[in-house]
């Protein structure tokens, strides 16, 4: 079975001024296995979103190889396997949720009948069915976030890449998203998500990766990481501080 996500020796630099370059990702190696929920953790500016954007081919790596199901990410057809939720999803304000999801489904080659059924099912699940014919500009932030999730899942992707899926959600919305992620795991789908909310990572993930200043500090089972410390938060702070001290 092809590896859902494989990142090998990935490095990325951003231009800083005319000539200077800032390293954002340093020689990152990561493999996400079929059916696992992988939590991608790191402080602000660690490079989590950069990695996700490289996976979606929004930005290009300076070196290394990134594949989805063993296919290079710059191949557009790869994205039919992926459901993506950006950190702050934005949509066309004057379109409705139904029209937006129809676009997403049709672009992923879904059949009309199946798509319409799936739209109603997803919108009901995410408490958006009552506003499906309303323009998105009338939605609250939480509703937009949930619509983003609906768009990510509309074509029943094998791999879900979620960038801060809980941001902007109230506790009920977070519960809803967490349940969806657990459902995906039950269905054997692969979920790769970044989050700042450690309790969500703790309750949802099989494995985690900790990134700091573009460098992967830990990758493995959640139990292995928290074993010696008093919970995920303490272990997370400890590993980041140790890394910072080592660099000083």
Partner 1 sequence: MKNIWLLAQITCKEGLRNRALLGILFFAVLLCVVNLIFTNMFAYDLGKVAVDVGLSVVSISGLAIIFFMGINLMAKDLDKRTIYMILSRPISRWQYIVGKFFGLGFLVLISVIILGLFAAGSVKFIMLTAPNYIPPDFSWATFLIALIYIFLSLLIVTSIALLFISATSSSFLAMIITSGSYFIGQNVEIVRKMYCQAEDDSGNEVSKQLVEIISWIFPNLAIFDLKTTAAYGLPLITSELLWHMLYGISYIGMILIIAIVIFQRRELT
Q: State the minimum distance, in angstroms, from the CB of residue 89 to partner 1.
A: 7
78/204 with CB nearer partner 1: 78
Q: 209: helix, coil or strand? A: strand
* Span interacting with partner 1, options 38-46, 51-59, 176-184, 199-207, rule CB under 8 A: 51-59
Residue with tokens 């602000």: 44
Question: Per CB under 8 A, which of residues 67..126 are in contact with partner 1?
Answer: 76-80, 82, 84, 86, 88-95, 99-100, 103-104, 106-109
Q: State the minimum distance, in angstroms, from the CB of residue 150 to partner 1.
A: 12
Q: Which residues pair with 40 in a beta bridge?
A: 194, 209
49/235 with CB nearer partner 1: 49
The Cα diameter of the chain in Å comes to: 60
5/208 with CB nearer partner 1: 5
Site string for partner 1, 226-245 (x = CB under 8 A): --------------------
Q: State the minimum distance, in angstroms, from the CB of residue 85 to partner 1.
A: 9
Closest to 3 measured CA to CA, from 233, 190, 225: 190
The phi, psi pair for 17, rounded to 5°, reads: 80, -155
14/170 with CB nearer partner 1: 14
Return d(Cα 243, Cα 236) in angstroms, integer: 11
Return d(Cα 122, Cα 135) in angstroms, integer: 18
94/130 with CB nearer partner 1: 94
Tell me if 165 contacts partner 1 by CB under 8 A: no
Angle at 35 between CA 203 and CA 77, to 5 degrees: 125
């Amino acid at each position: 079975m092809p590896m859902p996500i494989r990142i090998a020796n990935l490095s990325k630099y951003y231009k800083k001024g005319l000539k200077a370059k800032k390293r954002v990702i340093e020689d990152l190696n990561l493999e996400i296995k079929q059916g696992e929920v992988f939590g991608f953790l790191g402080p602000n500016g660690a490079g989590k979103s950069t990695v996700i954007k490289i996976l979606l081919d929004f930005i290009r790596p300076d070196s290394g190889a990134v594949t989805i199901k063993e296919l290079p990410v710059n191949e557009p057809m790869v994205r039919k396997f992926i459901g993506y939720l950006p950190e702050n999803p934005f949509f066309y304000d004057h379109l409705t949720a139904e029209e937006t999801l129809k676009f997403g489904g049709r672009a992923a080659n879904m059949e009309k009948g199946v798509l319409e059924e799936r739209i109603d099912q997803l919108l009901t699940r995410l408490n958006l069915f009552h506003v499906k014919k309303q323009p998105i500009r009338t939605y609250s932030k939480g509703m937009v976030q949930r619509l983003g999730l609906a768009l990510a899942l509309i074509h029943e992707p094998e791999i879900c890449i979620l960038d801060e899926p809980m941001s902007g959600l109230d506790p009920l919305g977070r519960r809803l998203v967490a349940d969806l992620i657990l459902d995906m795991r039950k269905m054997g789908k692969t979920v790769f998500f970044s989050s700042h909310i450690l309790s969500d990572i703790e309750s949802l993930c099989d494995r985690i990766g900790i990134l700091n200043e573009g460098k992967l500090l830990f990758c493995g089972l959640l139990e292995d990481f928290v074993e010696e410390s008093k919970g995920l938060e303490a272990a997370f702070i400890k590993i980041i501080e140790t890394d910072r001290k080592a660099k000083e």
